[in-house]
Structure 1
Amino acid sequence: MELMTHRAAGWKIRLRKASDDAQIEAVFRDCLTDFPWRRAHDVELVRLHGLLASNHCLVAHEDHAGIVGFLTLERRKAYVPHLFVHRDWRFCGVGAGLLQVARDMARSPLSLDVDAQNGAALAAYKAMGWYEKVGQVPPREGQRRLSGP
């Protein structure tokens, strides 16, 4: 079942199926090479698999490209542990679409953490209306906790 469709760009958002996991991991691994992560990639992969098993996951799918982005959601906390979009699909509304569907599912404004050195992500969130609450301390050093509009 499609939760959102972007007819012009051709992608659709739906809930993850178990058969999506290999493509989700491929997008994740690709994104891990775009930015210097603070923890080892294998540690990040273990965390991703744990979140896929225990939380909601939305995928953005395009018929010819496959999975082009995904988001994991801790629905009760309205918290987004992961949001990744394949580099070829950035600036096509995929991230904004995933966040919109997640916000609708959580029925609440969302929060997420972003690496303080990831200027591109911070600029993208700011452009979408995300903000950092004054005095809010992120759970890990070197990150910023953002709240959604």
Structure 2
Amino acid sequence: MYTHSGAGWHIRDFERRDYRPCYQVFRECLREFPWRGPAAPYLRQLFNALPTAMALVAEEPQAGVIGFMTLRPDTGYVDHLFVANDWRLCGVARGLLHVGRDRMGRALILDVDAQNTAARDAYEKLGWKVFARAGEASAEQIRLIGP
């Protein structure tokens, strides 16, 4: 589907065996969002999204699953996009978004926490634009639309 030959990882469709590794990546990433509180509700959302959404996995042969994305085919909305800490800045998120956009045939949309400045900066560098804002200051979400 998509391979990054220099870094050795590739993107493929989610398979049943990917549940546990995706949860591990997700839990690791949630630790960086203390403003979100307990992880349990977010883990339930992921559990519900994986079988019903278009789900893609980034995998490196030695490391296993290093990132994943869930996407709503009817709207082009990205529910989840997470990359393991050790694999950030290696093009994994860019690759997942690229494959998702190619499959959808149109721009994608997603929400990002206003407090998540690292993700907001990364999306901006990839050409994503602010589409809307919602929520209170402590829980503000910014909706972005992809290039």
Give the conservation status (yes or no) of the 8 Å contact 2:18–2:65: yes
Task: Show the counterpart of 1:26.
Answer: 24
Pairs within 5 Å for 1:7-26: 7-26=5-24
Deviations 1:80-108 (A, max 9, x none): 01000001000000000000000011111
Q: Secondary structure at the match of 2:67?
A: strand
- Over the residues paired in the alignment, what is the CA RMSD in angstroms? 1.3
Give the conservation status (yes or no) of the 8 Å contact 1:103–1:109: yes
Task: Show the counterpart of 2:101.
Answer: 103
Residue type matched to 1:147 in 2?
I
TM-score by length of 1: 0.93
Unaligned runs of 5+ in 2: none
Give the conservation status (yes or no) of the 8 Å contact 1:78–1:110: yes
Task: Show the counterpart of 1:45.
Answer: 43
Task: Show the counterpart of 1:124.
Answer: 122
CA–CA separation in structure 2 for the residues paired with 1:88 and 1:138: 31
For residue 22 of structure 1, report the CA deviation from its aligned partner: 0.5
Residue type matched to 2:84 in 1?
H
Residue type matched to 1:99 in 2?
L
Deviations 1:25-74 (A, max 9, x none): 00001001122242520000000000002111000000000000000000
TM-score by length of 2: 0.94
CA–CA separation in structure 2 for the residues paired with 1:146 and 1:139: 15
Specify whether residues 54 and 37 from structure 1 end up closer, same or farther in structure 2 by C-alpha distance, changes over 3 A only. Answer: farther
Tell me the matched-pair count: 145
Name the % identity.
Answer: 46
CA–CA separation in structure 1 for the residues paired with 2:37 and 2:45: 11
CA–CA separation in structure 2 for the residues paired with 1:128 and 1:64: 28
Give the 4+ runs in structure 1 shifted more than 6 A: none
For residue 137 of structure 1, report the CA deviation from its aligned partner: 4.0
Among 75, 78, 81, the alignment partner of 1:80 is: 78
